[in-house]
Structure 1
């Protein structure tokens, strides 16, 4: 048996056109990617270097968020949530191109990484 919010979401989902259903699923998947996940095993996150995960030729925005989250595991996803959700919304709801959004996501993730590096150097 599903709860009230789950039933409401399911009702709304069923009323959407297939393309809108896909957008909603993409957005829900995006939101789950923003949730904090694996810890860093006690390592100092400020001293971690980004992983070298190349950008595939054909990549979805969700795929890019996953890749960038893996590339920069030291970043707090909550700090990135506002900016990444705005870009995801622009892509899903306003039709902004995936490549353009991914380019901006890469800039945002790099900027946040450089910010924690700068903070770490100032403290150390």
Structure 2
């Protein structure tokens, strides 16, 4: 384990349980936004991945990234991180944030299809 990893673990252990959950949620978000497939261009239509009845915001981001593999996650990063922080830091209900995320991804997809 590197010194940076050890320091990160020490910081994590010093956090309150609530702050640990926030850090874990943010770490999941960062992992979800990293490029996973270099073949985004191969997809032209969204994949039919249904929205589960109960879903976390981070899982919704992961699902939407899988649904819209043709979208560049770096382009979506700012808007998705704003939505996630509204949920994690400001307590906006997950369902409302997920509705907003659905709209963000759809808007980006429609813009891409229109050529802009």
TM over 0.5: yes
CA distance in 1, matches of 2:41, 2:85: 34
Structure 1 residues 52 and 18, CA, compared in 2 at 3 Å: closer, same or farther? same
- Which residue of the partner structure matches residue 72 of structure 1? 68
CA distance in 1, matches of 2:41, 2:97: 33
**Residue segments in structure 2 that go unaligned for 5+ positions in a row:** none
> 1:1-124 residue pairs with structure 2 within 5 A?
1-4=1-4, 6-40=5-39, 43=42, 45=43, 48-119=44-115
**Residue segments in structure 1 that go unaligned for 5+ positions in a row:** none
Whichever of the two has the greater Rg, that structure is 1
Runs of 4+ in 1 over 6 A off after TM superposition: none
Q: TM-score, normalised by structure 2?
A: 0.91
The higher relative CO (CA closer than 8 Å, separation ≥ 6) is in 1
CA distance in 1, matches of 2:21, 2:76: 24
Could you say what the CA RMSD is over the residues aligned between the two structures, in angstroms? 1.6
Q: TM-score, normalised by structure 1?
A: 0.86
Q: How many residues align?
A: 116
